[in-house]
Amino acid sequence: MKPFARITSFVFVGLGLLIILGGILFALSAFFGERPTSTGLFDMTGVMILAQIGVGGAISLQGFLLAAIGEAIWLLVDIAENTEKTSAYFAARMRMETA
pTM for this model (two decimals): 0.76
Q: Is residue 51 part of a domain?
A: yes
Q: Give the number of C-alpha atoms closer than 13 A to the C-alpha of residue 64, restricted to the C-beta side.
A: 8
Q: Is residue 81 part of a domain?
A: no
- Write down the mean pLDDT value for the chain: 88
Q: From CA 42, how far away is CA 84, in angstroms rounded?
A: 66
Domain count within the chain? 1
Domain range enclosing 64: 2-34+43-74
Residue of 71, 98, 94 whose CA lies nearest to 5: 71
Q: Is residue 25 part of a domain?
A: yes
pLDDT in tens, 46-94: 888 899 999 999 999 999 999 999 999 999 999 988 998 898 888 888 8
